[in-house]
Amino acid sequence: MRGTILDTPVEYLKGVGPVRAKLLKEELNVIYFADLLQVFPFRYIDRTIFHHISDINSDLAIIQVKARVVQLQSAGSGRSMRLSAMVSDDTGTLELIWFQGIRWAKAKLQQGKEYIIFGKPGYYNGRYSIAHPELEEVAGEAGSSVQRMQPVYSSSEKMKANGFDSKGMARIIHSLIQTVYYEIQETLP
């Protein structure tokens, strides 16, 4: 048996378990807590920057805006159904579109409420829109992913299918750090 909490098998970390631990071993060669601490993001997304809707242009790969829902509308039926939400800030309006997860989006969105919207803008029919954006109510800002740097981790399709997409990896690594922070020695003077 090994000596410190860092030598604990990763299956004992909350949210992992034996099946997911096996997947982490196969895909990333992660066996112990110490191994998981060595999994680093390949980049970060700056979630501290908010754009105005009027500032959206083709040069922006991703954007984050704070806007209020002014209109919700469903179109089509069955497999061709889509949900459209018009949101606005003081500078303009933007369309949000869902082709999948429509029930989830309908349940989450409320007309008149303000949301933090994050996603990739597209240009269609002379206007900008965001398909399948991430949403967060402004009231829920305190414990959220906004207003900080968000890590982006590599993930295989097999890992994504088991809940280890980039956000899932960030979640378990955050849980690990909360568990072992007192064991990590500072190496800088």
Same domain, 117 and 73: yes
Same domain, 127 and 157: no
pLDDT band of residue 77 (cuts 50, 70, 90) is confident
Write the Ramachandran bin of 153: left for phi over 0, alpha for psi from -120 to 50, otherwise beta.
beta
25 part of a folded domain: yes
How many Cα neighbours within 13 Å face the side chain of 73?
Answer: 9
Q: Is the pLDDT higher at 142 or at 188?
A: 188
pLDDT digits (tens, 9 = 90+) for 33-55: 999 999 999 999 888 889 999 99
Res 67 pLDDT > 50: yes
Structural domain of residue 23, as residue ranges? 5-42+153-183
Residue-wise over 87-97: b if at least 16 C-beta within 10 A, else e? Answer: bebeebebbbb
Same domain, 91 and 125: yes
189 part of a folded domain: no
Same domain, 123 and 164: no
pLDDT of residue 104: 86
Q: How many domains does the chain divide into?
A: 2
CA–CA–CA angle 86, 67, 153 (5° rounding) = 100
pLDDT digits (tens, 9 = 90+) for 126-139: 888 999 998 888 87
pLDDT of residue 126: 86
188 part of a folded domain: no
Question: Do 8 and 186 contact (CB within 8 A), yes or no?
Answer: no
Same domain, 17 and 96: no
pLDDT band of residue 101 (cuts 50, 70, 90) is confident
CATH number for 171? 1.10.150
Res 94 pLDDT > 50: yes
114 part of a folded domain: yes
In Å, what is the CA distance from 100 to each residue of 40, 103, 109, 138? 31, 8, 15, 24
26 part of a folded domain: yes
**Global confidence as pTM:** 0.73
CATH number for 120? 2.40.50.140
pLDDT digits (tens, 9 = 90+) for 156-182: 899 898 888 998 999 999 999 999 888
148 part of a folded domain: no
How many residues are present in the chain? 189
Question: Do 70 and 89 contact (CB within 8 A), yes or no?
Answer: no
Same domain, 36 and 51: no
Res 57 pLDDT > 90: no
Res 145 pLDDT > 70: no
Structure-token match 């990333």, residue found: 28
Same domain, 25 and 115: no
